[in-house]
Amino acid sequence: MNDPFDIIVIGAGPAGISAALEADHHGATVCLLDEQASAGGQIYRNVSQSTSARTKVLGPDYLEGGKMVRDLEQSGVVHRTGVTVWKVGQDGSVAYSKEETAAQIKGRHIIIANGATERPTPLPGWTKAGAMTVGAAQILMKSAGIVPTDAVLIGSGPLLYLVAQQLVSAGAPPKAVIETQTKKDLLGATRHLVPALKGWKQLAKGLQLIAAIRMAGVPRFTAATNIAIHGEDKVDRVSFDANGKSHSIQTTSALLHQGVVPNTQITRSIGLKHVYNAQQHCFHPVTDAFGQSSNSVFSIAGDGAGIGGAKVAALSGKISALNAVCQIGIIPRGICETRAAPLLKKRSSELAIRPFLDAAYPPPTDVLRPADDTIICRCEEVTAGDIRRFASLGCKGPNQAKSFGRPGMGPCQGRYCGLTVTQILAHETNQSHDAVGAYRIRAPLKPITLKELASLETPKEPETAT
Amino acid sequence: MNPKSNSITTETIIIGGGLHGLSTALHLAMRGMTVVVLEKDRVGRHASSANAGGVRRLGRALPEVPLSVASADIWQNMTDLVDDDCGFVSSFQVKLADTQTHMDQLRERAKQVRAIGFEHEEIIDQQTLRDLVPAVSKDCIGALAVTGDGYANPFQTVRAFYTKCIELGVVIHQGSGVENISRVADDWSVRTAHHTITARNIVNCSGAWGGKIAAMLGDHLPIDARAPMLMITEKMPHFMDGVAGAQGIPLSFKQFPNGTVLIGGGNVGNAYLETNKTDLDYQGLALSAATARRYFPIMENAKIVRCWAGIEGFMPDNIPVIGKGRQDNVFHSFGYSAHGYQMAPICGKILSELIIDQGATLPIDAFDPARFRKNSRENGSESIAEFAS
Amino acid sequence: MFKLMEGEDVQDSVTFLFENQPVSATPGMSVAAALLAADVSIFRQTPVSQSARGPFCMMGACYDCLVFVDGMNVQACMTKVRDGMKVSRVPIINKDIET
Ligand SMILES: Cc1cc2nc3c(=O)[nH]c(=O)nc-3n(C[C@H](O)[C@H](O)[C@H](O)COP(=O)(O)OP(=O)(O)OC[C@H]3O[C@@H](n4cnc5c(N)ncnc54)[C@H](O)[C@@H]3O)c2cc1C
Ligand code: FES
């Protein structure tokens, strides 16, 4: 039997690329898998193919990713693009599909760097055509160079400001930015301000963004409530209350955002331990400082382990890779620790701003636990009220909820309703989020064809690194 | 906890709140008996809600045929029993043949069923099959068919039986695993973490855990816990009614009214009785996928959205244990070997007859737990080896 | 409504068919981006209630952008445009519910 890869990295964002590069640097055989057509993850998406217009709009932070991607190209890392990982086995086997053909490889250690997804933002009308996430609008800029002509941004958090400013500089200033955070949130957050000053550069950047939005004359509303998206089939209007008045703004593009949360589909599917993080209002896998999970074959790096942003992700990737190459005996523990020490230190100062951001831009209660008639499961069109009714009938957890009314059983496999279902059930049944738990996730992690699945039937020799 | 403060006396204790436990409770309660059901997790949590929902008489082991036929009658009028149709869709089931050998086997089978006096299984030719199931592979040359069979919704069924039981005064304790069983004079005394319950009769309906409970009652029955696996596709344009299986290869295939297609049929993963966990065996799932494609070419590009498994008890001869235990007033009903969903309505009735009337109105000798006593050295696993070979 | 961002100029283009109508797009674009740019905002109707949907996440997570591409049900946001590809809406799939 041939040797498998030493390290398989899933996800080619800042965390995954730097993990792959670091492991490669120490002489490990590395295979890096990503669903996108090119490296960069969500933040540096499509960076290697960017046009000059896009680069101007997206700013220097975006270009930083370009260097990483070039380093990757020069390295010995086996980089497979356009592959969807749909099964990760306890033994380190990874099954994926590329263009409808399935393959399986095996790693001695697996680094999961699959990043974040945007937090579900259920509010009335959020399923209508023309409502999309702020991140989606940004992806359209990065990968297609197109912008919504009359966007209204709704929600809270740094990405809301970033995209608003990017739309301004792309010549498509949004019609309004409707923010849900309140003065009280901001005041409460100030107690985190002193530690956050270590991250003053990021704070300053945020203030610059807000100034640029204001300069462009884009109206901002804060502490907005009762937000609803209207339109027959397509979005034509957004309504909300702010400053003691009701407002209505015409738009065909309602862009939603309430921060990002770790994508836990893979980590759940392997049965790794997860905990609920009350500050970030989401679950994340339990890891040690090196990103090692509750199963020694798997590490998690980047936003998938807990939201920290791109710089933190890149540092975590390196740290996880050091630990991984040490685990499989390529470098001794001593070297791993000496090398990791400065990275760990740098990471903690990068993380200093987090508690402030988490407190200043919390998801509002009616996004976490929406009103009864709001759809929360987009696929099966289950409402928040349905979940409350299930709870009153004795439903205690998300997996049981499926048997009551199919939430989480559509093609997105619970990605956009899982957290909300947990939040509502925790509240209705007076249990902790950890006690309520989350959907049980099993492969296939993404829908795959019978043909792809059937191709596993005859076991193939695991592919080798050489 | 002081067990005395939670002492309960009843006429019959049922261990296991799956569909068979609930059905037995229901039939006993309908005849006026007081019943307590003890369920270690929650009702229907295991095989009873994880199953494929197939309601079939087709292809039953011959001793099961009379029971299955009687159960089918109950399914047709399910609302009369539990005030809910349980999502039952009555259409047809077919067992496909794509070789002459398979066709001959099906013909032989139809003859056997006729020989014991039943007429529901009939051979249909290629054209009839194609009219009935246009999506079937051109290679299929015929099938064995039963009309009136179909499928139902397991969740809905569990809920309906549960609700009806409660209505009839059945006491159901969930989260109440049995820790100890003892004899107190002529009664049975069962202890859980929360209660001590005393009753004259005790019924073991604990599915894959049936062997453990049987052992606590002095019966050593060779049961094997496995995890039958299922997978379901995204919603597809409607292309078939009814349910298809295949001769000579495990397959169970149906499209629900909401467009999703359920594929199952015998491939199993690992089951862990202690933790309630199951592992999927992806080689097995791949085989099921390949089989579904072979009989239904339309499935080539269909997308699988979810796979799961449920824990089920299998007997060495693949038919359940139904009958009296060695000790007085002990009754067993478990080990349905992945086809007990359809039989639950009738088996509950049979158990109620055994308990109240001391005898069943349908033939159940073949299911006697005593069948495993011969040659038995009081050792379950050795018996498994004997029967499996 | 979407438009090209300021300063973005398009050199080559590919053409594909959407519901039998030609749509032109920049190579490298996803089918979802190309359709949005061509002012198509409704991609499909849900199988549950036949309500209109369009792309929501653009990163392969929500499955609201499902379309038929050359006969396969795929995520438009994860599929790159190719010259001559045939794209159409997913047929409404519910069986008429019998009573
Ligand atoms: C839509 C969106 C927009 C954002 N925009 C900004 C921004 O403008 N500025 C900013 O500072 N931060 C932004 N963030 C946050 C930022 O992206 C993260 O903090 C950072 O990129 C985390 O890096 P990562 O490597 O952990 O994850 P990512 O960059 O997300 O990389 C993970 C990679 O894993 C791949 N992957 C996931 N699952 C699979 C699978 N099953 N098979 C194969 N591949 C898989 C994904 O395709 C992705 O490429 C954004 C986040 C999102 C979700
Ligand atoms: S837009 Fe969400 S999957 Fe394509």
Does ligand 2 have an atom closer than 6 angstroms to the CB of C62?
yes
Domain of residue B293, CATH code: 3.30.9.10
State how far the Cα of C26 lies from the Cα of C40, in Å rounded to an integer.
16
pLDDT score of B312: 95
Reported as half-sphere exposure (CB side, CA atoms, 13 A), residue A390 has a value of: 25
Of ligand 1's listed atoms, the one at least distance from the Cα of A117 is: 53
Pair B310, B229 in one domain: yes
Query: Considering the domain boundaries, does residue B85 fall inside one?
Result: no
Q: Tell me whether B374 touches chain A (CB under 8 Å).
A: no
Say if residue B216 is in the same domain as residue B330.
Answer: yes
Q: Is there an atom of ligand 1 within 6 Å of A351 CB?
A: no
Q: Which atom of ligand 1 is nearest to the CA of A162?
A: 8
Per-position pLDDT tens, chain C of length 99: 999 998 887 777 899 999 999 999 999 899 999 999 999 999 999 989 999 999 999 999 999 999 999 888 899 999 999 999 999 998 876 544 332
B235 → closest Cβ in C47, C71, C97:
C47
Give the closest residue (by CA) to ligand 2 atom 3.
C60
Residue range A203-245, pLDDT digits in tens: 888 899 999 999 999 999 999 999 999 999 999 999 999 999 9
CB atoms A147 and C33 under 8 Å: no
Residues B27 and B126 in one domain: no
Q: Which of residues 290-309 of B touch C (CB under 8 A)?
A: 301, 303
Report whether pLDDT(A300) > 90: yes
> Cα-flanking dihedrals φ and ψ of residue B209, to 5°?
-90, 5
Place of tokens 């929650």: B42
Instruction: State the CATH number of the domain containing residue B345.
Output: 3.50.50.60
| Range in A36-40, B87-91, B225-229 with the lowest mean pLDDT | A36-40
CA–CA gap between residue C30 and residue C61 (Å, rounded)? 15
**Total tally of structural domains belonging to chain B:** 2
Distance between the two ends of chain C, CA-based, in angstroms?
41
Is the CB of residue C47 below 6 angstroms from any atom belonging to ligand 2? no
* Same domain as B117, residue B143: yes
Same domain, B39 and B163: yes
Looking at the fold, whether B163 and B285 belong to one and the same domain comes out as no
Do C72 and A147 meet the contact criterion of CB atoms below 8 Å apart? Answer: no
Start-end of H helices in A147-287: 158-169, 183-189, 193-196, 200-215, 265-269
What pLDDT, on the 0 to 100 scale, is given for residue B387?
32
Mean pLDDT confidence for A264-288: 96
> C2 CB under 6 A from ligand 2?
no
Q: What is the pLDDT of residue B146?
A: 96
Contacting partners of chain A (3+ CB pairs under 8 A) = B, C
| C63 CA closest ligand 2 atom index | 3
Q: Which residues of B touch C71 (CB under 8 A)?
A: 301
Q: Are residues B164 and B207 in the same domain?
A: yes
C79: DSSP letter: S
Verify whether ligand 1 is closer than 6 Å to residue A158 (CB atom).
Answer: no
The predicted-structure confidence for B288-318, as pLDDT tens digits, reads as follows 999 999 999 999 889 999 999 999 999 999 9
Fold designation for C14-89: Ubiquitin-like (UB roll) (3.10.20)
Do the chains contact at B234 and C94, CB–CB below 8 Å?
no
Contact between chains at C95 and B303 (C-beta distance less than 8 A) = no
Whether residue A51 has pLDDT greater than 90 = no
Distance A179 CA to ligand 1 centre (A): 23
Closest by Cβ to C59, choosing from A128, A135, A148: A135
Ligand 2 proximity of C75 Cβ (cutoff 6 Å): yes
Domains of chain A: 5-117+261-331 (3.50.50.60), 120-258 (3.50.50.60), 369-436 (1.10.10.1100)
Query: What mean pLDDT comes out for the span A392-413?
Result: 90
Closest CA to A320 of A5, A4, A17: A17
Question: C 50-89 residues with CB below 8 A of B?
Answer: 71-73
Q: Any idea which of A442-446, B141-145, C34-38 has the lowest mean pLDDT?
A: A442-446
Residue B188, min C-alpha distance to chain A (Å): 31
Answer yes or no: are the C-beta atoms of C49 and C30 closer than 8 Å.
Answer: no
C-alpha B22/C-alpha B16 separation (Å) is: 8
What is this structure's pTM? 0.87
**Any A CB within 8 A of C50 CB:** no
At residue C99, the pLDDT reads: 28
Q: Which residues are registered as beta bridge partners of B382?
A: none
Q: Could you say which DSSP state residue A255 is in? A: E
For residue A412, the ligand 2 atom closest to its alpha carbon is 3
* Shared-domain flag, residues B167 and B297: no
What pLDDT is recorded for position B388? Answer: 31
Tokens linked to A371: 């009103």
Query: Are B184 and B136 within one domain?
Result: no
> Tell me, what DSSP letter sits at residue C97?
P
Q: Report the number of secondary-structure helices (H) and strands (E) in chain B.
A: 11, 20
Nearest residue to A274 (alpha-carbon basis) of A379, A160, A145, A419: A419
| Residue whose tokens read 């309630």 | B276
Q: Is the pLDDT of residue A74 over 70?
A: yes
Ligand nearest to the CA of C53: 2
Expressed in percent and rounded to 5, the helix, strand and coil fractions of chain A are: 40, 25, 35
In this structure, are residues A301 and A311 in contact, taking their beta carbons and an 8 Å threshold? no
**By residue range, what is the domain housing residue B192?**
3-49+156-222+317-372
Would you say residue B127 lies in a domain?
yes
Domain presence at residue B70: no
In angstroms, the separation between the Cα of residue A452 and the nearest Cα of chain C is: 13
